[in-house]
Amino acid sequence: MRRMTNRRSARLLALITATAAIGALGVTLAPAGMGTGNDAGGSGSKGPVAVGHGGAVSSVDPDASAAGIKVLKQGGNAVDAAVATAAALGVTEPYSAGVGGGGYFVSYDAASGKVRTLDGRETAPKSADEKLFLEDGKALPFEEAVTSGLSVGTPGTAATWEQALDRWGSKSMGKVLAPAEKIASKGFEVDKTFRQQTADNEKRFRDFPATVDLFMPGGKLPEVGSTMRNPDLARTYKAMTREGADALYKGPVADDIVKTVQKPPVDPDSERKVRSGDLTREDLGDYEVKKQAPSRTGYRGLDVFSMAPSSSGGTTVGEALNILERSDLSKLSKKQLLHRYIEASRVAFADRGRWVGDPSAEDVPTKELLSQRFADSRSCLIKDDKVLKSPVAPGDPRDPSDCGSADKATRTPYEGESTTHLTTADKWGNVVSYTLTIEQTGGSGITVPGRGFLLNNELTDFSFEPVDPDVHDPNLPGPGKRPRSSMSPTIVLDEGKPAFALGSPGGATIITTVLQTMINHVDRGMPMDKALNAPRASQRNAEKTEIEPKLYDSDVRPGLEDIGHSFKEIPELGAATAVQPLRDGRWLAVAEKERRGGGSAMVVHPEK
């Protein structure tokens, strides 16, 4: 009976929020001419909201969104558009994504009503073991591990694109890469974010001549408004057009990747100690994308689909939603709602750290972590008048006991906060939510000479050593193992039809960004553009909760501090995108207004 009531409530809420979104768009919709797809290769206009027919694309970059729109206009579907957008992001957002990295692809098929996923996460070399990041029995300093061949995992992005297109796409690799290849050849306009990210990485970039040649032509930081070209990447995309993903896993490009990892091309005058990795041609040739079932959680009558392990995104967002399911958040004050959200996140991260790793190497209790029974056993920890002391100890999802713990409390390790996310939809109702990454902003800092892309530092997502020697750590390195991720590409269905899709970059803050945006939209009834752009908080089983300035300076912070919360102000959390079908057949595409310089939402046939 409760399920039926929730179903009816969800449908009613969906109608209310969709209507509110349409009404709100009268004041939040971008000015005429913004958010309207254009031919890839020229500079698109940044608009954070777009409404119209024929399909939608939302990403952090206008040229990338335009590439996806172009493929939709050519008759491609949401999968084709997602790959086209991702390939363009490899040109215009090379410090966050590219064929040197990996990611997770979540797709809704309108014909069958099914949600499918691809795990394109990077893998450790077959020679890797738990001591990968240890020297003389001690863990390497994080900054030394990042900029090294040791941190480079076998890239999964190119294989993900090929698998997605072969299984669910309608266009060839060459067709969907064409817009990105054009951008790489003709160039894109450098914006403030690109220049700042280059400046932030300048010191380590200068240790690698190939990286300097590519991103700092003439040895200087690129000027805002200048044109950045990448003919090497254009040639790599041409090779993929001819040979598919094999171009990166079996051909000359593969040889160059291996050579670069095993003997990083460091400037002879550099004083940086850059360690070599042990990635081999066998590692590249044997890489496989995993086609697996999505994680699934029920919330307020909606079905929430995301990535199952090796990502912790689906299980951690799902557990937090299950913890909150028993509370009517719509009736709470802002202070009460934030308190419940923060505490649910704190508890879910405690369980994530103890139980989630690569299921090919670890016994991960995915079903149990997502059970309402386990969530109920954990929700009893949360009190309205006081704050849990962090770190919180994990529970045991296999044998839940009210407020019980399975092991001692451990801290949450650091994760790089780069990455990028895109969402697409087409005129047939197919939807894609895709998060891809090279880990740190700038990845390893090491460019494959002559190939136009940076290599990832994804293996630093492993625990360098056990977080606690007395507690099993499921995220230690191992041969061919995938490091635990927080990426949470999400598609939400209402009675089998898309309600919305969203995701975000941000390392471990991805989980809290997706969770908070969903609560804003589903429980608070905020239109999607407002839900996505609202100020954020992120609690990851730490003493302090990170919050953005608008929350830090708000009148709600003192009230939360009065019951024991402690906060750390940070400039921004995440850079989300979303798409949502409206009742009349139109699509709403939403991106950030300000975070990371603002995003770009576009539709095929925009509303005038």
- The residues annotated with a catalytic role in the active site are 419
Phi, psi at residue 150, to the nearest 5°?
A: -60, -35
What whole-number distance in Å separates Cα of residue 538 and Cα of residue 490? 18
DSSP line for 119-160: EE--B--TT--TTTTEETTEEPPHHHHHSSSTTPPBP-HHHH
What whole-number distance in Å separates Cα of residue 388 and Cα of residue 346? 8
What whole-number distance in Å separates Cα of residue 433 and Cα of residue 505? 12
Q: CB of 463 within 8 A of CB of 412?
A: no
Contacts of 94 (CB under 8 A, 6+ apart): 215, 230, 233, 453, 454
Q: Which two tokens stand for residue 454?
A: 């940076």
Place of tokens 């040889």: 255
- CA–CA distance from 16 to each of 251, 393, 540, 607 (Å)? 54, 39, 32, 21
b/e string for 430-451 if b means 16 or more Cβ within 10 A?
Answer: bbbbbbbbbbbbbbbbbbbbeb
Contacts of 426 (CB under 8 A, 6+ apart): 54, 55, 72, 76, 77, 78, 81
Bridge partner residues of 600 (DSSP): 59
Q: CB of 264 within 8 A of CB of 235?
A: no
Bridge partner residues of 426 (DSSP): 55
SS3 of residue 52 by DSSP: strand
Q: Which two tokens stand for residue 199?
A: 């400046």
- CA–CA distance from 367 to each of 112, 364, 375, 384, 398 (Å)? 24, 9, 12, 29, 9
Q: Which two tokens stand for residue 185?
A: 């050849």
> Cα-atom radius of gyration of the chain, to the nearest Å?
23
Phi, psi at residue 474, to the nearest 5°?
A: -75, 0
Distance, first Cα to last Cα, the chain: 44
Closest by CA position to 156, among listed 248, 78, 232, 68: 248
Residue 61 exposure: Cα atoms within 13 Å on the Cβ side: 33
- CA–CA distance from 28 to each of 16, 25, 548, 597 (Å)? 18, 5, 22, 17
